[in-house]
Amino acid sequence: MTRGAIIVGASSGIGEALARELADEGYQIGLAARRTERMREIGTALPTKAYVATMDVTDTDDAREGFFELADAMPAVDVVVVSAGVADENYDLEWEVERRTIDVNVRGFTAIATAAMEYFESNPDPASDRDGHLVGISSVAAHFGNGGTASYNASKAYVSRYLEGLRNRQAGSDADVAITTIEPGFVDTDLSYGSFWECSPETAATQIARAIRKEKSHAYVTRRWRLVAWAIAAMPAFLERRLFS
Ligand SMILES: NC(=O)c1ccc[n+]([C@@H]2O[C@H](COP(=O)([O-])OP(=O)(O)OC[C@H]3O[C@@H](n4cnc5c(N)ncnc54)[C@H](OP(=O)(O)O)[C@@H]3O)[C@@H](O)[C@H]2O)c1
């Protein structure tokens, strides 16, 4: 039986590596982002059929329309991964930078997450226990405020909480959609800020694919980043201010 996965934010980094990982598992892949040529090149090298959709998630109506067209073009869509994101340091709190972060990471994320839920709920899969699986790439940054990236960390807290809300919403829903929150630490991509415990996009993709297979609610990538999340939760405010000023 044909399985399909749409990855929004598939033109580089974690999304690109995950496209390869899921294609190796036999999924046909729908790649979506702004850089069409890059996605074509990535798609051509995949072992399964690839579909490419050019979209800017900040143009939310257009992105949602593009998502539905992409889903309709594919024989099956079992998994939707929202990996699109930006992270810019902005100590000066320039509004354009803050707005872009909110536009991509909050508005864009929600536009695609709601489109995916709508798609899964209106296309139940009688052959499967599940009607679909939504995966959101949040961040360990969701667990604390950071002086230089206030909007980024806040946007990732939004993503994690939003997905938690969708999981809780499942209890009252007829459709059976799995919801997975991925919280990576540092991953070696253009977006990354640090080298501490940094893993390759391929390692991140392997661990994300495992979380998808196991239908986990939540996964840290790599797994030892859970220690950081726990340490931050236990940290006194004065120390947190010193560390993240
Ligand atoms: N790298 C890390 O250390 C790290 C840690 C924690 C969480 N994350 C999260 O992981 C996700 C992927 O990031 P990455 O590290 O793989 O960085 P990346 O290589 O820069 O990938 C970002 C992806 O988002 C897409 N994107 C950005 N703006 C977009 C827009 N307006 N419309 C559509 N797509 C857009 C980019 O595609 P186009 O430019 O082609 O549009 C690209 O495919 C992000 O959500 C990020 O917050 C990363």
Is 220 an annotated catalytic residue?
no
Domain interval for residue 96: 3-244
pLDDT at 173 exceeding the cut of 90: no
pLDDT at 186 exceeding the cut of 90: yes
pLDDT at 194 exceeding the cut of 80: no
CA-to-CA distance for 39 and 53, rounded, in angstroms? 9
Going from the Cα of 78 to the center of ligand 1, the distance in angstroms, rounded, reads: 22
Contact of 116 with 163, CB cutoff 8 Å:
no
Amino acid identity for residue 228 in this structure = V
Going from the Cα of 230 to the center of ligand 1, the distance in angstroms, rounded, reads: 25
Q: What is the pLDDT of residue 196?
A: 87
pLDDT at 125 exceeding the cut of 90: no
pLDDT at 129 exceeding the cut of 90: no
> What CATH number corresponds to the domain at position 220?
3.40.50.720
Going from the Cα of 84 to the center of ligand 1, the distance in angstroms, rounded, reads: 4
Catalytic residue among 119, 152, 162, 220: 152
Which of ligand 1's atoms lies nearest the C-alpha of 14? 16
Q: What is the pLDDT of residue 195?
A: 78
Find out whether the beta carbon of 181 lies less than 6 Å from any atom of ligand 1.
no
CA-to-CA distance for 130 and 58, rounded, in angstroms? 30
- Render pLDDT for 62-120 as a digit per residue (tens, 0 to 9): 999 999 999 999 999 999 999 999 999 999 999 999 999 999 999 999 999 999 999 99
Strand, helix or coil for residue 76: coil
Q: What spatial distance separates the first Cα and last Cα of the chain, rounded to whole Å? A: 52
Number of compact structural domains in the chain: 1
Tell if the pTM clears 0.85, that is, is over it.
yes
Amino acid identity for residue 94 in this structure = E
Find out whether the beta carbon of 19 lies less than 6 Å from any atom of ligand 1.
no
CA-to-CA distance for 52 and 36, rounded, in angstroms? 7
Find out whether the beta carbon of 60 lies less than 6 Å from any atom of ligand 1.
no
Q: What is the pLDDT of residue 142?
A: 97
Going from the Cα of 171 to the center of ligand 1, the distance in angstroms, rounded, reads: 31
pLDDT at 1 exceeding the cut of 90: no
> Residue whose CA is closest, atom 7 of ligand 1?
139
Closest CA to 28 of 79, 66, 67, 65: 79
Contact of 177 with 222, CB cutoff 8 Å:
no
Q: What is the pLDDT of residue 128?
A: 80
